[in-house]
Amino acid sequence: MKICMIGSGYVGLVTGACLAEFGMEIICVDSDKAKIATLEKGESPFYEPGLEDLIEKNMKDGGLSFSTDTKKGVRASTVIFIAVGTPANSDGSPDLSHVEAVVREVASYMNEYKIIVLKSTVPVGTGKWIKGVIEEEVKGACTFDLVSNPEFLREGAAVEDFFRPDRVVIGAENEKAIEAMKEIYNALYLIETPIVITTIETAEMIKYASNAFLATKVSFINEIANLCELVGADVHDVARGMGLDGRIGRKFLHPGPGFGGSCFPKDTKALVHIGREHNCEMEIVQSTIRVNERQRERMIEKIEQMVGDVRGKTIGILGLAFKPNTDDMREASSIPIIQGLQAKGARIKAYDPEAMEAAKKVFKDVVYCKGPYEVAEGSHALVLVTEWNQFRLLNLERIKGLLLEPVFVDLRNVYEPLHMREMGFRYCGVGR
Ligand code: UGA
């Protein structure tokens, strides 16, 4: 099966490299010449565990290639995946201009039957609209089918998620397209991955509903964590006690500084926007967004409660990326926290294992360090913002000796409160 993947960002590149591993012939196309040049050297343009090895291996085996030439990709393939970005407009609606432009270009090169697969997260109804756009462009010159195939990959675990997904969702209108998609995902079917076959609109909705529900779980546990602090309960035990109920589930009940990344913030806003367009207020999702914004502000208040007035003080930050195992800074909680502290007159020292280059484009006046101990040295408090593994086993005696004040604010609840206090830290976590 020959496949063209348009858009070599997170989704496109991971999907392309993984499908090549299944033995398919993949050509990944992107208009960004520098990105394609990097990929042609066998390097990944972003940090994602396991991806670079997969790219290198499949390039060597001949199954994976890269190009800036959309025409070449489209003409050579039967199935064309669209995996370009849908950033948020200022009103929260997703910007579909990249998707539309790419689809029009693809359609202009179509000379025989093709299956167009939408992987980008797009509002319900976009599939139908795109179908109309293609019809307009091809003017009956060839036939095609449109499929919605949303992705559920987590950054930092995307390769693992691709090979062991909870489900594959295929939204299609006829058997021919469904059969082609089943063939593409046959390796997953063989390991008994549930394949959900549905209409295009339903597939589009499954994606938004899933992300909004997970984001709601995070905001819910953050709200419970805040109440736990006031009533003297421990949110970890609460989450465990709740999560053992199979109807609730243990995942995504970890409290912290709020959700970030390129998906939850954008997709929750988009769902509220789609609801408004249909006169259907999405009240739960709106609250999820509000609770998340408030949670970030609360983290600054937490730091102030521990440090006092932060003006003129140095705050050491461990972790900048929106979560571990990625260098992605999009909507990271570190951004409002650091900028909020700076606005109040604090000096910031920081370290992140992978995201410092990306962070330099976001922050002004941050002193970047070589490691956690350099961050601690001369700081009035250490704030753990992203739970990278290397922050889980810090030499705490050494940290205490390097800090000006033994203040440790653990926004991911990595450490045990009792142990930290016994060690002589002024310690606080979230909801404990
Ligand atoms: C999310 C979904 O998990 C994927 O299934 C989906 O495919 C992806 O969005 C997407 O739409 O492309 P991702 O944004 O990579 O994946 O990150 P998550 O692991 O879901 O984490 C999102 C945010 O929630 C992070 O800031 C994380 O720190 C936070 N989070 C997550 C918590 O604060 N607590 C939790 O218990 C779980």
| Distance from Cα 392 to the centre of ligand 1, integer Å | 20
Instruction: Return the CATH class of domain 213-428.
Output: alpha beta
- Cα four-point dihedral sign 327, 333, 338, 339: positive
Q: Is 215 in the pocket of ligand 1 (CB under 6 A)?
A: no
Q: What is the pLDDT of residues 219-238, one digit of tens each?
A: 999 999 999 999 999 999 99
Look at residue 88 and tell me whether its pLDDT is greater than 90. Answer: no
Pick the CATH number of 2-198 from 3.30.300.30, 1.10.8.60, 3.40.50.720, 3.50.50.60: 3.40.50.720
Q: Is 264 in the pocket of ligand 1 (CB under 6 A)?
A: yes
- Range 61-83 average pLDDT: 97
| Distance from Cα 154 to the centre of ligand 1, integer Å | 6
DSSP type of residue 87: P
For the CA of 261, the nearest atom of ligand 1:
14
- Range 307-332 average pLDDT: 97
How far is 151 from 55, CA to CA, in rounded Å?
Answer: 19
% residues pLDDT > 70 (the chain): 100
In a mutational test of the pocket of ligand 1, which residue from 226, 248, 264 has the highest number of ligand atoms less than 8 Å from its CB?
Answer: 264
| Distance from Cα 214 to the centre of ligand 1, integer Å | 8
For the CA of 326, the nearest atom of ligand 1:
15
Q: What is the residue with the minimal CA distance to atom 37 of ligand 1?
A: 252
- Range 83-109 average pLDDT: 93
Q: Is 261 in the pocket of ligand 1 (CB under 6 A)?
A: yes
pLDDT (0 to 100) of residue 92? 84
Residues of the chain with CATH 3.40.50.720: 2-198, 213-428
Q: What is the pLDDT of residues 162-184, one digit of tens each?
A: 999 999 999 999 999 999 999 99
Band (pLDDT 50/70/90 cuts) for residue 203 is: very high
Q: What is the residue with the minimal CA distance to atom 29 of ligand 1?
A: 259
User: For the residues of 286-348, what is the DSSP string, one character each?
Assistant: HHHHHHHHHHHHHHHHHHHHHHS--TT-EEEEE--SSSTT----TT-THHHHHHHHHHTT-EE
Q: Which two tokens stand for residue 167?
A: 């489900």
Average pLDDT over the chain, rounded to an integer: 96
Q: Is 151 in the pocket of ligand 1 (CB under 6 A)?
A: yes
Q: What is the residue with the minimal CA distance to atom 10 of ligand 1?
A: 263
Look up 263 and say whether it is catalytic: yes
Q: Is 209 in the pocket of ligand 1 (CB under 6 A)?
A: no
- Range 296-303 average pLDDT: 97
Q: What is the residue with the minimal CA distance to atom 2 of ligand 1?
A: 154
In a mutational test of the pocket of ligand 1, which residue from 220, 242, 323 has the highest number of ligand atoms less than 8 Å from its CB?
Answer: 323
Interacting residues of 315 by C-beta distance below 8 A, sequence separation 6+: 303, 307, 341, 346, 347, 348, 349, 379, 380, 381, 383
Q: What is the residue with the minimal CA distance to atom 28 of ligand 1?
A: 323
Q: Is 260 in the pocket of ligand 1 (CB under 6 A)?
A: yes
Q: What is the pLDDT of residues 15-51, one digit of tens each?
A: 999 999 999 999 999 999 999 999 999 999 998 999 9
Q: Is 15 in the pocket of ligand 1 (CB under 6 A)?
A: no
How far is 387 from 403, CA to CA, in rounded Å?
Answer: 20
For the CA of 328, the nearest atom of ligand 1:
15
C-beta pairs of 288-291 under 8 Å, 24+ apart in sequence = 288/212, 288/215, 288/216, 288/218, 288/219, 288/220, 289/219, 289/265, 291/219, 291/220, 291/222, 291/223
Q: Give the alpha-carbon dihedral of 299, 300, 306, 307, to 10 degrees.
A: 160
In a mutational test of the pocket of ligand 1, which residue from 153, 238, 240, 242 has the highest number of ligand atoms less than 8 Å from its CB?
Answer: 153
Q: What is the pLDDT of residues 361-383, one digit of tens each?
A: 999 999 999 999 999 999 999 99
Look at residue 267 and tell me whether its pLDDT is greater than 90. Answer: yes
pLDDT (0 to 100) of residue 418? 96
For the CA of 332, the nearest atom of ligand 1:
26
Look at residue 403 and tell me whether its pLDDT is greater than 90. Answer: yes
Which residue has tokens 């992300």? 211
Q: What is the residue with the minimal CA distance to atom 9 of ligand 1?
A: 263
In a mutational test of the pocket of ligand 1, which residue from 208, 211, 250 has the highest number of ligand atoms less than 8 Å from its CB?
Answer: 211
Q: What is the residue with the minimal CA distance to atom 7 of ligand 1?
A: 152
Q: What is the pLDDT of residues 102-128, one digit of tens each?
A: 999 999 999 999 999 999 999 999 999
pLDDT (0 to 100) of residue 310? 98
Band (pLDDT 50/70/90 cuts) for residue 412 is: very high
Give the orientation angle of helix 97-109 with respect to helix 126-138, to 10 degrees.
Answer: 40
